[in-house]
Every structure is written in C-alpha cells, then in structure tokens.
Amino acid sequence: MARYSSFRRPQKKVCLFCKDKIVADYKEIDLLRKFITEQGKMLPRRATGNCARHQRTLAIAIKRAREIGLLPYVAK
C-alpha cells in the first residue's frame, strides 16, 4: 500500500451551472467558449465537472451557437 501514498485524488469540480444557478444559452458565447477546446470541440464531462443535466443543456447550446455561426464546428 505504500506505493499509493503519494497518490492524490484530484479535487472534485462542481458544476458551474448548478453553482451559479444559470442555464446555458446559445447567445452567451463567452461562457460557452470556456467549455470548448481551441479546436472547437466540446469538453467532456470529466473535464468540465458539470452535472449530467447541465452538460446536456450545454451541449444543445453549443450546437445551436454553431448552427447560427457564433461558434466554429472546427477551428483552424
């Protein structure tokens, strides 16, 4: 067991949308940009720390923003 002694569990992240009591909206691009990579891909739940429900609404918001040309599908 000694070899695990240096292992530290990373601190659990809290869902930003639950914490601030906000709903993801496709118009708030600055907020949505926090949840995509430089290439424009959505970050997974294990990276964002979002709860399942808010990750779902976030995904819809990002997809809507892409549809209207506010966010890229693929960034160069």
Partner 1 sequence: MRSYEIMLAINPQLEDKELDSLLDKLKKLIIDSKGEITKVNKWGKRKLAFEIKDFTEAIYIVLNFNVDEKMITEMERVIKLEERVIRYLLTLQQIVKSQNKDK
Q: Which residues bind partner 1 (CB under 8 A)?
A: 26-27, 40, 64, 66-75
Q: Closest distance between partner 1 and the C-beta of residue 48, in Å?
A: 20
Q: Closest distance between partner 1 and the C-beta of residue 70, in Å?
A: 6
Nearest to 75 by CA among 27, 26, 42: 42
Q: Closest distance between partner 1 and the C-beta of residue 23, in Å?
A: 8
Q: Is 36 helix (H, G, I), strand (E, B) or coil?
A: strand
Between 16 and 71, whose beta carbon lies closer to partner 1? Answer: 71
Which positions ≥6 away from 71 have C-beta within 8 Å? 29, 32, 33, 36, 40, 62, 65
Between 14 and 60, whose beta carbon lies closer to partner 1? Answer: 60
β-partners of residue 19 are: none
Between 18 and 75, whose beta carbon lies closer to partner 1? Answer: 75
